[in-house]
Amino acid sequence: MTISLHSPLDMHIHFREGDMMRLVAPLSAGPFAGGVIMPNLVPPVDNIARLEAYRAELDEAIAGESFEPYMTLFFRNYSEAELAAAKDKILGIKLYPAGVTTNSEDGVRALEEAAPTLSLMEEMGIPLMVHGETDGFVMDRERDFISTYDLLARRHPKLRITMEHITTRDAVEFLDRYPNVFATVTLQHLVITLDDVAGGLLNPHLFCKPIAKRPEDREALLHAALSAHPKLMFGSDSAPHPRNRKESAGCAAGVFTAPLALPRLAMLFEQHDALGNLQAFVSGNAQAIYGVRPPAKTVELEKSPFEVPSSYGDVVPMYAGQTLDWSIRSIA
């Protein structure tokens, strides 16, 4: 059994910098035609000079691959002139509430302070991407943030808002409440719950933020993905960390899935008799939502064993050492 995917897209990736970028960026640029690159570096990507330097480093890391990096800026209060200069260089601006995830200390502390920039983005047609969590109890942080999404969607009805890496049934239900709200979802949140992370011995390589939730949340996410809900896109949130940052007392948040995402998604969709919807989930919906036209790339997957390496360099992937039912046969 085989399936061909045309110009698959990963709408949420972390490529890091330096040696880590040179290790992981090619692993996404090979099977994917494009991806949305997150800006929460140190220092953050929050100005044109930083953006252009980061893009140049990325282009060098993936030289020879047919892959379009859709760049983003880290949210801060931008002037109209700054946004005008950046508009043609970015797909959107990523808003992080201060301190909720990796390298987000410089994020937004009060939504009212962000209002002028949000209004400018709405006027200029620049999309907003949001890490939607509060600083409350860990299992309720995304659910508690829904009221903020509601406020954003009502105040800025022409602002395209993407709820990044949603993990709850509440977020799935919110998708249909406003026409300007969309979402990405990860591989890990479609297949695991908190029980897989901490139900037995702690599995640090499944720990991410937002944290995996309850079975009923996973089922809601899975139903939306398998049915190719038109407002939902695949975004891996593939987030590499060195082994010593994951297997430590202060475990870093992030699951590394880039090299195995497409085979595991094919396996998942086949298990639910939904292979016909995989193309929309990994490409068609994103193209329609953002109006992007990625490079032409055809990835043929086949139902044959793929043994996931125990590590890529010093980064341990999801399913390390395990065998998946599907593999990548060819990339053209």
Question: Would you state the pLDDT for residue 99?
Answer: 82
Q: Are 197 and 188 in contact (CB under 8 A)?
A: no
Two structure tokens written together for 203 = 């599995």
- Compute CA 57 distance to the chain's CA centroid, rounded to the nearest angstrom: 20
Which pLDDT does position 107 carry in this prediction? Answer: 85
Q: Alpha helix locations (H) across 168-306?
A: 169-174, 188-191, 194-198, 215-226, 243-246, 261-271, 278-279, 285-290
Q: What CATH number should be reported for the domain holding residue 213?
A: 3.20.20.140
**CA-to-CA distance for 253 and 206, rounded, in angstroms?**
8
**Strand (E) or helix (H) holding 84:** helix 80-86
Cα Rg of the chain, angstroms: 18
Q: How many domains does the chain have?
A: 1
Q: Is 235 exposed, middle or buried (0-12, 13-18, 19+ CB in 10 A)?
A: buried
Strand 92-95 versus strand 181-185 pairing type: unpaired
What does the pLDDT read at residue 167? 98
Q: Sign of the C-alpha dihedral, residues 59, 65, 67, 68? A: positive
Contacts of 91 (CB under 8 A, 6+ apart): 36, 70, 71, 72, 127, 290, 292
pLDDT of residue 277: 98
Q: Distance of CA 228 to CAs 53, 234, 283, 320, Å?
A: 36, 10, 10, 28
E strand residue ranges, 22-156: 34-37, 68-74, 92-95, 128-130
Q: Could you list the active site residues? A: 237
Q: What is the dihedral of CA 81, 76, 17, 55, to 10 degrees?
A: -20
Tell me the residue range of the domain where 201 lies: 2-331
Asked if residues 62 and 26 have their Cβ atoms less than 8 Å apart, the reply is yes
- Please tell me the predicted confidence (pLDDT) of residue 101: 83
Position 109 scores a pLDDT of 86
Give the per-residue pLDDT at 228: 98
pLDDT of amino acid 100:
82
Q: Which residue ranges in the chain fall short of pLDDT 70? A: none
Tens digits of residue pLDDT in 96-153: 998 888 878 888 888 889 999 999 999 999 999 999 999 999 999 999 999 999 999 9
> Which phi and psi (to 5°) does residue 300 adopt?
-100, 125
Q: Where are the beta strands (DSSP E) in 75-117?
A: 92-95
Q: Which two tokens stand for residue 311?
A: 């590590």
Q: What is the pLDDT of residue 153?
A: 98
Query: Would you say the pTM of this structure is higher than 0.95?
Result: yes
